[in-house]
Amino acid sequence: MIPPYLLQEMAQETGEHIFLVLIAMAIAAAIGLPLGVLLTRRAALRTPLLGFANVMQTIPSLALFGFLIPIPFIGGIGKRTAIVALVLYALLPILRNTLAGILGVEGAVRESAIAMGMTGRQLLWEVELPLAAPTILAGLRIATVTTIGTATIAAAIGAGGLGVFIFRGIASVDTTQILAGAIPAALLALLSDGGFSWIERRVSVP
């Protein structure tokens, strides 16, 4: 059985973990979705921006958290730095899937929309985004699930979350502590994955 003191702490860190992920995902989506749409309109920006997001993904997460600490304003110890790092990680799948989803709209459909006199805004909101929605959602889904995992490392820079147990458990060679962090994190990931898959089914064309 799980001791009550641990249960209470688990509830609190799970809450912090969800908070970190939600804030990071909200910011990443707020940046990534409009930027992805912009990339469909400005081909010249694709290579540099996707390149930047790619490079961010290649930096090992622990190293990225470390790199950010000395940077003024966004750095330091704590949640803010962790959120910046999580946003940088989440950006690539969101950007790439928004771009791929919109560019994947059939040429004849896009041409019809233009030829029938849709404005640029109508083309985007009535045709491109609804048809790209499953791909865009898949990007958000990947980003969310990986962010839930990566957020465990945020504990290393004092941002809290379920990683607290994992780092403590490793330091004290205590499997119970490691599992107290790992199991809720895995459940969160499964839960959000299932949630996204439900939404994806709802928005796909009947």
Partner 1 sequence: MTTEAANGAAALEFRDVSYRVGGNLILDNLNLRIESGRTLVLLGRSGSGKTTALKMLNGLLFPSGGKVLVEARSTTDWDLIELRRSIGYVIQEVGLFPHFTIGENIGLVPRLKGWPPDRIAARVAELLDQVGLASAQFLGRYPRQLSGGQRQRVGVARALAAEPKLLLFDEPFGALDPVTRVELQDQFLSLRDRFKKTSIFVTHDVREALRLGTEIALLHRGKLEVLATPDDFVKSNGPEARAFLSTL
Residues in contact with partner 1 by the rule CB under 8 A? 106-109, 111-119, 122, 127, 130-131, 205-206
CA distance 64 to 85: 7
Burial 105-141 (b: 16+ CB within 10 A, else e): beeeebeebeeeebeeeebbeebbbebbbbbbbbbbb
Q: What are 194's two structure tokens?
A: 């299932």
Nearer to partner 1, 116 or 171 (CB): 116
CA dihedral of residues 157, 163, 166, 172 (deg, nearest 10): 40
Nearer to partner 1, 106 or 174 (CB): 106
Nearer to partner 1, 72 or 206 (CB): 206
Q: What are 17's two structure tokens?
A: 């973990």
3-class state of residue 52 by DSSP: helix
The distance of closest approach from Cβ of residue 197 to partner 1 in the complex, given in angstroms and rounded to an integer, is 19
CA distance 64 to 170: 21
Nearer to partner 1, 60 or 107 (CB): 107
The distance of closest approach from Cβ of residue 131 to partner 1 in the complex, given in angstroms and rounded to an integer, is 6
Nearest residue to 197 (alpha-carbon basis) of 138, 126, 143? 138
- Other beta carbons less than 10 A from residue 4's beta carbon: 8
Nearer to partner 1, 111 or 174 (CB): 111
The distance of closest approach from Cβ of residue 142 to partner 1 in the complex, given in angstroms and rounded to an integer, is 23
* Residues in contact with 51: Cβ distance below 8 Å, sequence separation at least 6, in sequence order: none
The distance of closest approach from Cβ of residue 95 to partner 1 in the complex, given in angstroms and rounded to an integer, is 23
Nearer to partner 1, 43 or 108 (CB): 108
The distance of closest approach from Cβ of residue 202 to partner 1 in the complex, given in angstroms and rounded to an integer, is 13
The distance of closest approach from Cβ of residue 35 to partner 1 in the complex, given in angstroms and rounded to an integer, is 24
Degrees to nearest 5, angle at CA 7 with 6 and 8:
90
